Amino acid sequence: MSKSGDNVVSEAQIAVHWREEEVFSPSAKFIGQAYASDPAILERFREENFPECFREYADLLTWDQYWHTTLDSSNPPFWKWFVGGRLNASYNCVDRHLASSRDKVAIHWVPEPESESTQAITYQELHRRVNEFAALLRDDCGLKAGDRVTLHMPMVPELPVTMLACARLGVIHSEVFAGFSGGACGGRIADSGSTVLITMDGYYRNGEIIDHKMKADEAVITAEAEGQEVAKVLVWRRHAGQFASQSPMVDGRDFFVDEVLKDYRGQLVDPVSMRAEDPLFIMYTSGSTGKPKGAQHSTGGYLAYVAGTSKYYQDIHPEDTYWCMADIGWITGHSYIVYGPLALGATSVMYEGLPTYPDPGRVWRIAERLGVNIFHTAPTTIRMLRKVGPDEPAKYDYHFKHMTTVGEPIEPAVWRWYYETVGKNEAVIVDTWWQTETGGFMGATLPGLMAMKPGSCGPGVLGVYPAIFDENGEEVDSGSGRAGNICIRNPWPGALQTIYGQPERFVSVYYEKYCRDKDSKDWHDWPYFAGDGAVKTADGYFRILGRVDDVINVAGHRLGTKELESACLTVPEVAEAAAVPVVDDVRGRAVEMYVSLKPGSDPDGVEAKVAKAIEREIGKIARPKKVWIVADMPKTRSGKIMRRVIASISNFSDYGDITTLANPEVVDSIRHHVQSEKMASHDVPRELTFDEIEEINSFGKE
């Protein structure tokens, strides 16, 4: 990955690793039914029609009051979309579909145990469940528009019910991925100022019921230590009437939802009419420094954007069965399991558990049983499914018309398996590049109109005009083969409105780098800095190379090096810690931790303690592949740990020039220790690609 515009990546070098010239065309059958098959749509969304082009997305929604100003850019970069408009997201995702589709399945929920049957929740039933729970939130918890509530819920239908109940009241939800620790959840409770935590007793994962309520107790303690009192903990139960947790209910604080909900049977709650720019939810994401950032998303702009992109890029028609196999705890699930599909009145599938449980055929069995024809997942999952069951898909009678990939670059070989084996050569693939912050897709092909190129996401999506800038703010030409920073030149309706509670950080992280004039009221002067390196080929397709900051993308999810390192520092013996990425064929990148110990401390058991601390502070997903205890870290003269040097050691790549180090002599001993142990345990990575070497060599660079 290149961090600077001077860093030249030639097309030839790219071609050696990823054969970019190869293109695949959508089938006539797909084109024949696609929503976007007339190139006129590209005209409508051309730059000269911006911002009015986004009317088309907003018109997919039902507004209580129509908006008067499409884009208000008077206070850059705090853009406001559809100003003057009022709407309710819950009404748009539920109520308005009742007249025509009350019996249609809104959510097919597939429990992990195959002995439990699938739940088909119709729009009618969803409406009832959302209303009753909204009544509970309002009357039992006293929640009202603008309040924040933290959810720490797994993949159960009660999660979208809870989100939509919040949205009905204008309450801002902040869902924390269930796999995250209680401590991580507590930090987010405190940051968002939530007084209510909504959780679940337990859920199934890999054949076991996980005790989840336990984490709520820890979350409350952490939040309180950070000054945020939690008045109520609402606990949904995986099986009503049974309790899957060992953790006791705290009197006066903890309540079983199924018990309280009885008082609200049949209650209806009027959807609260919100301003388009009122926040709908907060979703936390990692950055290279500091605490996680609460990306705040709006009601009108966000909902319009995810509805529009679900329609044209996911191509979800009323008769389709759509399955996005992401977790709702991440932005993908918010936008493309819940809000986008339900705004369109579609049928969305949710699966509780592990894709490979109880065997590698599970995913395809679900697809066959439910007649899924649109499938959406991440490269890490595709790699895993391919590894454990390369021939499984052929054994099942399902047919996809469309498949999505999201979260990280997909290797062409993996793309091909997805296309040929999973898609049975029938389905289009849409590689969608975007971020928690962007709310919806930023780079992708319009599947009925554009060819697919394995390893490239495609051009900017409708109404989004990306560009690659070098370090000096000069645009890098298409087809030059030079990498640079991918930016979005214009505002778009799905963009985060701010970092919750930290507007200055919002401006500095995303807009400072390429702002041409801080006093300008013209959006042209405020490109959005995405933090990814990319190249643009002559045909306008972008190829994303990865993050330019010190963020490690594990299985499609961003982990901040700072968070990992501070988790290690909670181990009393640890003096210094450094997190580095290692190339991992399933998860994309995995984390390796390097720690040095305080003088005189006993190294025995430290590795396990470090792994445990990370699991506790962040969650299982962040668990390091390996913890290396070293005598000293390679450092610059100013004392900064040279992460790129240890990253190179972990990845067996050449660490280049180390003459500027204050202690170059430590490098050799670390290399010897790490690499000989890796060789002994046959953990030597395959030969890295040019891009991977670039990424490792620039990791942690200033």
- Can you give the binding site for ligand WT7, defined by CB under 6 A? 285, 330-332, 406-409, 431-436, 457, 530-532, 544, 546-547, 553, 556-558
Residue 331 C-beta-side C-alpha neighbours within 13 Å: 30
- Of the pair 147, 431, the CB lying nearest ligand WT7 is at 431
- Of the pair 51, 341, the CB lying nearest ligand WT7 is at 341
Yes or no: say if 670 and 634 are a contact pair by the CB < 8 Å rule.
yes
How many other CB atoms sit within 10 Å of the CB of residue 413? Answer: 14
Task: Give all strands (DSSP E) within 111-229, no chain letters.
Answer: 119-122, 148-151, 172-175, 196-200, 202-205, 208-211
- Of the pair 82, 433, the CB lying nearest ligand WT7 is at 433
Task: Give all strands (DSSP E) within 16-161, no chain letters.
Answer: 69-72, 80-83, 86-87, 105-110, 119-122, 148-151
Yes or no: say if 141 and 232 are a contact pair by the CB < 8 Å rule.
yes
Neighbouring residues of 663: CB distance < 8 A, sequence distance ≥ 6: 632, 634, 635
Residue 102 CB, shortest distance to ligand WT7, in Å, is 32
Residue 619 CB, shortest distance to ligand WT7, in Å, is 14
Q: Is 359 helix (H, G, I), strand (E, B) or coil?
A: coil
Q: Which residue has the tokens 């051309």?
A: 46
Q: Which sign does the torsion angle of CA 280, 284, 289, 291 carry?
A: positive
Closest among 351, 332, 318, 286 to 116, alpha carbons compared:
351
Residue 382 CB, shortest distance to ligand WT7, in Å, is 12
Residue 631 CB, shortest distance to ligand WT7, in Å, is 34
Residue 435 CB, shortest distance to ligand WT7, in Å, is 4
- Of the pair 299, 435, the CB lying nearest ligand WT7 is at 435
HEC profile for 396-409? CCCCCCEEEEECCC
The alpha carbon of residue 453 and the mean position of all alpha carbons in its chain are separated, in whole angstroms, by: 23
Q: How far apart are CA 578 and CA 633, in angstroms?
A: 8
- Of the pair 105, 544, the CB lying nearest ligand WT7 is at 544
Q: How far apart are CA 492 and CA 351, in angstroms?
A: 31
Residue 381 CB, shortest distance to ligand WT7, in Å, is 12
Tokens of 551: 């963020």
Residue 556 CB, shortest distance to ligand WT7, in Å, is 5
Residue 532 CB, shortest distance to ligand WT7, in Å, is 5
Q: Is 528 helix (H, G, I), strand (E, B) or coil?
A: strand
Residue 546 CB, shortest distance to ligand WT7, in Å, is 6
- Of the pair 187, 560, the CB lying nearest ligand WT7 is at 560
- Of the pair 162, 332, the CB lying nearest ligand WT7 is at 332
- Of the pair 407, 527, the CB lying nearest ligand WT7 is at 407
- Of the pair 304, 457, the CB lying nearest ligand WT7 is at 457
Label the pairing between strands 119-122 and 105-110. antiparallel
